[in-house]
Amino acid sequence: MKTTIGFIGLGNLGTPIAKNLIAAGYHLQVYNRTISKADELDQASITKCQSPAEAAAGVNFLVSVLANDAVLTETVTGDEGILKTLPKDAIHISMSTVAPDTADELAELHQQSGNHYLASPVFGRPEAAAAKMLWVCISGDAKIKEAAKPLLETISQGVVDFGDHTSAANVVKLTGNFMILASMEMMAEAYTLAEKFGVDRTKVADFFGSTLFNAPIFKNYGKTIADKKYETVGFTSQLGYKDASLVFKLSQQSQTPMPIANVVHNRLLTALAKGWTERDWAEAISRGVTDDAGI
Amino acid sequence: MKTTIGFIGLGNLGTPIAKNLIAAGYHLQVYNRTISKADELDQASITKCQSPAEAAAGVNFLVSVLANDAVLTETVTGDEGILKTLPKDAIHISMSTVAPDTADELAELHQQSGNHYLASPVFGRPEAAAAKMLWVCISGDAKIKEAAKPLLETISQGVVDFGDHTSAANVVKLTGNFMILASMEMMAEAYTLAEKFGVDRTKVADFFGSTLFNAPIFKNYGKTIADKKYETVGFTSQLGYKDASLVFKLSQQSQTPMPIANVVHNRLLTALAKGWTERDWAEAISRGVTDDAGI
């Protein structure tokens, strides 16, 4: 018999993750606010649920991939939240990008209910999730991490452990999203400067992306930014702003002056103000830079 | 008989390049302001010169690797400058990081003298130069580039052509140094934030440097910044400031607002103010960030 796990959140990232869990042989008790999203999953491998509580009933593992701190907190603590039904000793594998404080608070509530919260934020766009090329960051109690690893390995290319503090993985995730944002801003500034001096920005991006900056971020986002082709929305400006805003708060909370974090926060805030909410975050940054430069 | 070329500038980068040219079979007419620097070269393969003019006399190629625009301009146009002696049709291969305007002006003066200026700035620290792992960027007249390529290929892992505008390669070089500076600032901010939240900054740097940011800049400078070990000076803060300042000027000249360029310009200026002039530019940025964060 297939192992049944709970699964909450069928967004751009959640859906390919759910598909890979199904392909790995799990049966999913699925909940999503818009439950029609579950129609594209193999129906024989899922049970559609009407609430987070229903999805969490009777499972050893519940995976959540949610948009932000408020939605995650409601999903856990709401009237029909996970905590109402999640069995004793079960593990909530939380893949959302949220503030460390949120993770610490939810972990405490889970502990009071006799079960566990595992911070497991992931790196990768939807196409990476589909190809099992995500990176999963984890932190917390050793036994919990060990128990969750086999499941996490089926949906990723690697699981990286950041120690025993509950929310360390969340700090790493926000640090990484800050670095992606900063890289996009830096490329947008650099390639726009080159263009202004009559140098082919695509050639410049190709050169750096294949030499000094020969890494996925600079190859993939570099091409998007150099070519100014933003059709594919992998991660919205709205979500990008949420992350920039969380980094900004961490910077204040820890008294770490971060001038580049200020720049990208302002860039995303501007994108929202211009109504680019549902466009890709790479467009928010790249168009922000070219607009400012009058091109 | 060995081909003789002129060579001017035995700094941290010039010296390993000169050694590789000697190893490739060239005889060098060497000039350096402090001529004792030539003592570490194979004496049978060099002729020490008393002036740029003497180094340029009778050669088909003259290579210069100089600190800044003023020194390069003086080397070309001074009373004992290259233009006094460089033969007709000879090529001045100019590897210095200078403003595009400087390159355009010098190219014009060379043309008036019946010879050629080739913008050939290089990417790589001294150890990369020693290992022939530099990248050379070139731009300008096709025939001149073709003639210089064999020489440039002996000292690098690749020669990349940015078209026929004289100073395009200089724009690319400054764009790249801006991206290196921005990357260092971004890593310093990110790893310091992680440290403030109790996460091992070396582990964070290792993770990003081997996954999303799996590229030389993030591996090498990433380790320096994560470990806060700045002993090896490959490129001084003084020179870093010069580049940040040139990028700032290009941003003004082309009306390209570049908020991250402002951040790194200010960071290097602060380093000079603190007297870190001869420290590595990675220290200027990383210590700048940790000092501001009170650690």
- Do B128 and B184 lie in one domain? The reply is no
Task: Tell me the backbone φ, ψ of residue B105, rounded to 5 degrees.
Answer: -65, -45
- The alpha helices in chain A, defined as continuous H runs, are 14-23, 52-56, 69-77, 100-112, 126-130, 142-153, 168-196, 201-210, 216-227, 237-253, 259-273, 281-292
The CATH code of the domain that includes B51 is 3.40.50.720
Same domain, yes or no: B111 and B34:
yes
Provide the 10 A C-beta neighbour count for residue A231. Answer: 8
Q: Which residues contact A112 (CB under 8 A, 6 or more apart)?
A: none
* Segment-wise mean pLDDT, segments of 10 residues, chain B, 295 residues: 92 97 97 96 98 98 96 98 98 97 98 98 94 97 98 97 97 98 98 97 97 95 97 93 97 98 98 97 98 97
**Measured CA angle at A68 (ends A65, A74), to 5 deg:** 85
Q: Nearest-CA residue of chain B relative to A158?
A: B211
> Closest by alpha carbon to B65, among B126, B24, B107, B150?
B126
Distances (CA, A) of B157 to A211, B15, B25, B124: 10, 17, 18, 10
Tokens of A193: 């400067």
Q: Copy the structure tokens of residue B94.
A: 């100019």
Closest residue in chain A to residue B181, using alpha carbons only: A186
Q: Same structural domain for residues B17 and B64?
A: yes
Same domain, A8 and A111: yes
CA angle A37, A42, A43 (to 5 degrees): 80
* Cβ atoms of residues B204 and A172 within 8 Å: yes
At which of A118, A146, A165 does a domain end?
A: A165
Cα–Cα distance measured from residue B160 to residue B149, given in angstroms and rounded to the nearest whole number: 10
ipTM of predicted assembly, 2 dp: 0.96
Residue type, B79: D
Number of domains present in the structure of chain A: 2
Strand A134-138 to A122-123 pairing: antiparallel
User: Could you give phi then psi for residue B119, rounded to 5 degrees?
Assistant: -70, 120
Structure tokens at B16: 């390993």
Residues B184 and B148 in one domain: no
Give yes or no: residues B99 and B157 share one domain: yes
pLDDT in tens, A133-145: 999 999 999 999 9
Nearest chain B Cα distance for residue A193, angstroms: 6
Kindly state whether residues B58 and B192 are assigned to the same domain: no
CB-CB neighbors (< 8 A) of A182 in chain B: 182, 186, 189-190, 260
Catalytic residue among A173, A223, A229, A249: A173
- Per residue in A16-74, pLDDT (tens digit) is 999 999 999 999 999 999 999 999 999 999 999 999 999 999 999 999 999 999 999 99
Looking at the fold, whether A48 and A78 belong to one and the same domain comes out as yes
Q: Are residues A101 and A185 in the same domain?
A: no
pLDDT, tens only, B33-86: 999 999 999 999 999 999 999 999 999 999 999 999 999 999 999 999 999 999
State the Cα–Cα distance between residues B244 and B239, nearest whole angstrom: 9
What pLDDT is stored for residue A1 in this prediction?
Answer: 62
Query: A166: which chain B residues are within 8 Å (Cβ-Cβ)?
Result: none
- Whether A163 sits inside 8 A of B200 (CB atoms) is yes
Name the residue among B194, B213, B261 with its Cβ closest to that of A172.
Answer: B194
Q: Locate tokens 């800050």: which residue?
A: A178
Q: In the structure encoding, which two tokens stand for residue A104, read together?
A: 């610490």
* Shortest Cα–Cα distance, B83 to chain A (Å): 28
Question: Residues in chain A with pLDDT < 70?
Answer: 1
Specify the 3-state DSSP secondary structure of B125: coil
By the 8 A CB rule, do A168 and A230 touch? Answer: no
Active site residue A132: no
- DSSP one-letter code for B231: -
Please give the Cα distance from A164 to A142 (Å, whole number). Answer: 7
Q: Of B132, B165, B198, which one is at a domain's C-terminal end?
A: B165
Asked which of A119, A147, A165 is the last residue of a domain, the reply is A165
What is the C-alpha separation between B9 and B11, in angstroms, rounded? Answer: 6
- What is the domain range of residue B76? 4-165
Read off the CATH number of the domain in which B203 is found.
1.10.1040.10
Same domain, A45 and A182: no
Closest-CA residue to B174 (of B283, B250, B234, B104): B250
**Adjacency order of strands within the sheet including A91-94:** A46-48, A27-31, A4-8, A61-64, A91-94, A116-119
Sort strands A61-64 and A91-94 into parallel, antiparallel or unpaired. Answer: parallel
Which of B175, B197, B216 is facing A254, going by the closest CB pair? B197
- Say yes or no: A197 and A87 in one domain: no
| Residue A203 structure tokens | 């050639």
B89 and B178 co-located in one domain = no
Q: What is the pLDDT of residue B2?
A: 81
CB contact under 8 A, B183 and A186: yes
User: Nearest Cβ partner of A204 from B172, B187, B211?
Assistant: B172
Q: Which residues of chain B are within 8 Å of residue A160 when distances are taken between CB atoms?
A: 207, 211
CA nearest to B154, candidates B10, B69, B28: B28
Q: Cβ contact (<8 Å) for A200 and B293? A: no
Q: Which helix (H) or strand (E) holds B4?
A: strand B4-8
CA B235 centroid distance within chain: 9
Question: At a CB cut-off of 8 Å and minimum separation 6, what does A155 contact?
Answer: A17, A20, A21, A24, A129, A132, A134, A136
Q: Which residue is listed with tokens 């070990």?
A: B229
Residues A53, A34: Cα–Cα separation, whole Å: 16
pLDDT confidence of residue B1: 63
